[in-house]
């Protein structure tokens, strides 16, 4: 679960990381009042869970409360990468001299958290990693010992941070590590961490991704989820306990089991198609769950064909078929559907689906080929 910038920075502040004064606003009028309180120049920042807000016009500097109101009105009417902006953060504008990157994530290969710093802050860190990997300094954190002081100093030295900032930098690094660990994050990053004209370090932007599997330990953080800005499909999927991830292709996939879902996506690609989603309905899915999965897939306008790949073990073929049929009664759809159903009660399931004009397939290869052909308009059942 990703947190918004303002939420991430609130957590940082609790761990002693300096952040700009500011508050979040849902209307232009509120933004104006906050700007008045802050007195002076403010930055208006769209709160959406995508990167590159600045380039998209979602971050603007305002010199007066009036300008803050106008810019907030503009930004609140925008969509950034398809997401409507519902909130803006109004922060005291920082006079930025230098932009640094500081972040922590898990390095699976090293089996440890890694803290990274770079003198090329402010920009996309993936871009820095690609073009100037030597500019990223890393230290691996022992999970029991935690971040050691010498490691924070190594980072400071590695990015050529002036000596007079080392103490403050080490404190920020410690705070970030503590937040990362105590809140069960998979990512905690400050980009940019800036040196201001007043020669102070300040976390101007923040991003936290929480480990969903640990959310039960943090009910307060779970409540931070901004329901309205999350994709409807994902909310719906979570309600039914489905693992759903939207992708860019045209073939909707409904599969039981994460491994089988991955294999299905691979085979679709092998035959020249692109999956529209990852969807694992899980083991033993009853028909209402299947129906929900089906509604989610069909609600995606880029889906031009559906591939259903079910290996019936605990999940029963006839249950799946009935779920699909009941969903089809609710959602009108002309999209061609290919079904591969094997295992428990597969025969009954296939019969139900064939009666409903679905394309049946014997093997996964057969199913993938038929789905790809259907997308390309070349398959007639
Ligand atoms: P992102 O584009 O979504 O990562 O948003 P950021 O908050 O990181 O802002 C992008 C860039 O806008 C920063 O790297 C800064 O260069 C600039 N920026 C953000 N806040 C301020 C501010 O308070 N003052 C100034 N001068 N620039 C800012
Ligand atoms: Mn940023």
Q: What residue owns the CA closest to ligand 1's atom 3?
A: 53
Overall pTM surpassing 0.75 (yes/no): no
Q: Is 192 in the pocket of ligand 1 (CB under 6 A)?
A: yes
Per-residue model confidence as pLDDT tens digits over 253-283: 999 889 999 999 999 999 999 999 999 988 7
Catalytic hit among 189, 240, 244, 319: 189
Which atom from ligand 1 is nearest to the alpha carbon of 52?
Answer: 2
What pLDDT, on a 0 to 100 scale, did the predictor assign at position 313?
A: 80
Which atom from ligand 1 is nearest to the alpha carbon of 5?
Answer: 7
Q: Which residues have beta carbons under 5 A from ligand 2 (an ion)?
A: 191, 205
Q: Is 92 in the pocket of ligand 1 (CB under 6 A)?
A: no
Whole-number average pLDDT of the chain: 91
Of 170-174, 325-329, 353-357, where does the model show the most confidence? 170-174
Per-residue model confidence as pLDDT tens digits over 148-207: 999 999 999 999 999 999 999 999 999 999 999 999 999 999 999 999 999 999 999 999
Beta strands in 54-204 (DSSP E): 59-62, 79-80, 83-84, 88-92, 96-107, 112-118, 136-140, 185-196, 201-203
For the question of residue 189 being annotated catalytic, the response is: yes
What pLDDT, on a 0 to 100 scale, did the predictor assign at position 67?
A: 97
**pLDDT band at 380, cuts 50/70/90?**
very low
Burial class from Cβ neighbours inside 10 Å (0-12, 13-18, 19+) for residue 144 reads exposed
Of 64-78, 115-129, 348-362, where does the model show the most confidence? 64-78
**pLDDT band at 226, cuts 50/70/90?**
low
- Pull the structure tokens for residue 229: 């800005």
Q: How far is ligand 2, taken at its centre, from the CA of residue 80, in Å?
A: 15
- Pull the structure tokens for residue 291: 């129906």
Gap between the Cα atoms of 267 and 209, Å rounded: 31
Instruction: Report which of residues 252 and 300 the model is more confident about.
Output: 252
78 backbone dihedrals φ, ψ, rounded to 5°:
-90, 160
Which atom from ligand 1 is nearest to the alpha carbon of 121?
Answer: 14
Can you name the residues that pair with 253 across neighbouring β-strands?
307
Q: Residue written as tokens 């909310």?
A: 235
Gap between the Cα atoms of 10 and 16, Å rounded: 10
Instruction: Report which of residues 112 and 289 the model is more confident about.
Output: 112
Report, as an integer, the average pLDDT of 9-18: 97
Catalytic hit among 6, 15, 99, 101: 101
Q: Is 53 in the pocket of ligand 1 (CB under 6 A)?
A: yes
What pLDDT, on a 0 to 100 scale, did the predictor assign at position 381?
A: 44
Mutating to test ligand 1, I would choose from 46, 202, 203, 204 the residue with most ligand atoms within 8 A of its C-beta, which is 204
Q: How far is ligand 1, taken at its centre, from the CA of residue 59, in Å?
A: 7
What pLDDT, on a 0 to 100 scale, did the predictor assign at position 227?
A: 54
Starting from the edge strand earliest in sequence, which strands make up the sheet with 305-312, in order? 243-246, 277-280, 251-255, 305-312, 337-343, 359-361
**DSSP code for 142:** B
Report, as an integer, the average pLDDT of 360-370: 93
Per-residue model confidence as pLDDT tens digits over 45-79: 999 988 788 889 999 999 999 999 999 999 999 98
* pLDDT > 70: percent of the chain: 97
Report, as an integer, the average pLDDT of 17-42: 96
Nearest to residue 4, comparing CAs of 50, 59, 38, 44?
Answer: 50
């Amino acid at each position: 679960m990703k947190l918004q910038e303002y939420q991430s920075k609130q957590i940082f502040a609790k761990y002693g990381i300096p952040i700009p004064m500011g508050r979040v606003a849902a209307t232009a009028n509120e933004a104006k009042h906050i700007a008045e309180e802050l007195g002076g120049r403010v930055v208006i920042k769209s709160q959406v869970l995508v990167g590159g807000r600045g380039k998209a016009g979602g971050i603007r500097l305002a010199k007066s409360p009036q300008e803050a109101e106008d810019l907030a009105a503009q930004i609140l009417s925008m969509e950034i990468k398809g997401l409507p902006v519902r909130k803006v953060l109004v922060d005291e504008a920082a006079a930025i001299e230098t932009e640094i990157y500081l972040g922590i994530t898990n390095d699976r290969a090293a089996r440890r958290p890694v803290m990274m710093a770079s003198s090329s802050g402010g920009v996309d860190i993936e871009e820095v990693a690609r073009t100037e990997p030597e500019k990223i300094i890393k230290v691996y954190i022992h999970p029991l010992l935690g971040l050691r002081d010498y490691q924070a100093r190594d980072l400071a030295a590695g990015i050529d941070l002036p000596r007079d900032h080392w103490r403050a930098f080490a404190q920020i690094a410690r705070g970030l590590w503590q937040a990362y660990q105590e809140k069960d994050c998979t990512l905690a990053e400050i980009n940019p961490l800036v040196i201001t004209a007043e020669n102070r370090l300040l976390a101007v932007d923040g991003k936290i991704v929480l480990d969903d599997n640990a959310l039960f330990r943090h009910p307060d953080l779970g409540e931070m989820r901004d329901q309205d800005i999350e994709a409807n499909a994902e909310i719906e999927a979570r309600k039914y306990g489905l693992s759903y991830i939207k992708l860019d292709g045209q073939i909707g996939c409904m599969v039981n089991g994460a491994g089988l879902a991955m294999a299905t996506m691979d085979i679709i690609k092998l035959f020249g198609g692109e999956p529209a989603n990852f969807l694992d309905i899980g083991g033993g899915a009853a028909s209402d769950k299947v129906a929900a999965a089906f509604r989610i897939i069909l609600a995606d306008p880029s889906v031009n064909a559906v591939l259903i790949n079910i290996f019936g073990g605990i999940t029963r073929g006839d249950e799946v078929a009935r779920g699909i049929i009941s969903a089809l009664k609710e959602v009108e759809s002309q999209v061609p559907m290919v079904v591969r159903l094997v295992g428990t009660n597969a025969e009954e399931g296939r019969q139900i689906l064939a009666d409903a004009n679905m394309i049946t397939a014997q093997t996964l290869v057969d199913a993938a080929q038929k789905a790809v052909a259907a997308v390309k308009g070349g398959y007639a059942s």
